[in-house]
Structure 1
Amino acid sequence: MRDYKKLEVWKRSHELNMFIKKSIATKLPLEEKYELKSQLTRAALSIPLNIVEGCGRFTDKDFAHFLDNALGSVNEVDYCALCAMELRYISDDDYNLLNSNLNEVRAMIIGFLKFLRENK
């Protein structure tokens, strides 16, 4: 079992989740409360949660499964952010900052997955 708090990928995904909750979701209009805002915040929370859940597993294969789920959530956040930007709910600058952070987390998860799968 791993201590998720020691993993840089978890730290960055937690920071991403907090950024989305505090700086992005708050800008979405009330009429998006049960649609785009809900989907965006649930997907953002799912990234660190899947890493945490994977850390509780005993095999690298099981852990990789949860990292795959986290990667799926990264892609979900990516699309929600694109929608928010195209609907003009968030600025281009907000979108670019979010996208940069998202790409960093995505790359870290992919790198960790490669590491786990190569070291069977």
Structure 2
Amino acid sequence: MTALQAQGAGIQALDVRVTELDGSRADAIEASVFAPLVEEFPQAQARFDPERASGRTYYAGLCFAIYASDAAGQKYMLVDGGFTSWTQQLLNNAKERLLISGIGTERLCSVFGAGEK
């Protein structure tokens, strides 16, 4: 976030939301994801989002989204991702794991003015 702010992006805060689709890893996520993330980026918030409706049939096990807030406090989703079963199906191997994500770079630039000085 600080690198984006140095480039002129008007991001004020980040909100990382994780949804457990099978509800089995809350303690591990708190310890190995949330704690290090907030320690390195104290301006970021990390939390569970059990109410997430989108992607529940698309992702398997766990998914996440990252929201950024502008100066007025308006939140915009910039990143979405999660685990999928694509490689398990393609390779016929249940041991395969694939974590995908995407960032809306055009949205980042249009909403937050990234790169404009």
Larger radius of gyration: 2
**TM-score normalised according to structure 2 size:** 0.29
More strand per residue: 2
More helix per residue: 1
